[in-house]
Amino acid sequence: MQGKVNDGPHVIIMCKAPVPGFVKTRLCSDYSANEAAEIHQAMATTVIERANKIFSHVSIASDDIEHPFFKTFTLNMISQSEGDLGIRMTHLLLQAFADGAGSILFLGTDSPHMPESRLYQVIELLPECDVVVGPVEDGGYDLIAMNQPYAELFQGIQWSSEHVLKETMKRAKISGIKIKQLAMSYDLDTPESLKRVAPIWHPPVSLPEKDSGN
């Protein structure tokens, strides 16, 4: 499958404004706050452009829709509500379905290295189940798509922990929601993961030289 999909899910990209000191702070052990913000901006740009290349309906949900960074995109902007990630995603989920979306795909901005094939897999699998999730090594997920507003999947979750996927799957089982998982992947969160993605996604900063041990 290639090219733009006209009848795919409505994509909502959760994206913080690239403000130094407030984004990618786990990179700041090796990079300045400004460099971390620059990396975040480059990551977000890659994710947004990839989604817009494949899907016909893409929205960016941000904490600051007036930030100059978002002026570079001609996409629908949505303000995120207050509350934890689950509350914010629930609000966006319910609003999207109320506005007529037939299915929803949430993306974050931590996977600029995600292959397009992973997104096409979502399109192929979603008609066969209720929810598609993309697990990542830290215990969370890099995407979640659904055919109905299963808001219970965002409730009572320990966000930013290694329990996110496990708790999501548990809630799905309790509710009788059929989930299909994609292959395991990983997020870009740390200097080590930045080096890991460098062969397939080029960060906009110089990576520290490896210690030769001499």
**One-letter amino acid of 54:** I
* Residue 3: predicted pLDDT: 77
- Supply the DSSP string of 126-189, one letter for each residue: GGGSSEEEEEBTTSSEEEEEESS--GGGGSS--TTSTTHHHHHHHHHHHHT--EEE---B----
pTM for the structure as a whole: 0.95
Residue 51 lies in a domain: yes
CB of 14 within 8 A of CB of 109? yes
* Residue 94: predicted pLDDT: 97
- Residue 30, token pair as written in the block: 């090796």
Residue 108 lies in a domain: yes
**One-letter amino acid of 162:** E
Residue 3 lies in a domain: no
Q: Which residues of the chain have pLDDT under 70?
A: 1, 209-214
Q: What is the mean pLDDT of the chain?
A: 94
* Residue 1: predicted pLDDT: 53
pLDDT above 70: percentage of residues in the chain: 96
C-beta contacts of 151-159 below 8 A and 24+ residues apart = 151/90, 151/93, 151/94, 153/177, 154/85, 154/86, 154/87, 154/89, 154/90, 154/93, 155/86, 155/90, 156/86, 157/85, 157/86, 159/84, 159/85, 159/86
Question: For the chain, how many structural domains are there in total?
Answer: 1
Residue 212 lies in a domain: no
**Alpha-helix runs per DSSP H in 59-134:** 85-98, 116-125
- Distance CA(112)–CA(210), nearest Å, equals 23
| Full domain range(s) for residue 174 | 10-196
Residue 2 lies in a domain: no
* Residue 214: predicted pLDDT: 37
* Residue 212: predicted pLDDT: 40
DSSP state of 201: S
Residue 209 lies in a domain: no
* Residue 211: predicted pLDDT: 46
Q: Which CATH number goes with the domain that contains 156? A: 3.90.550.10
Residue 134 lies in a domain: yes
Residue 84 lies in a domain: yes
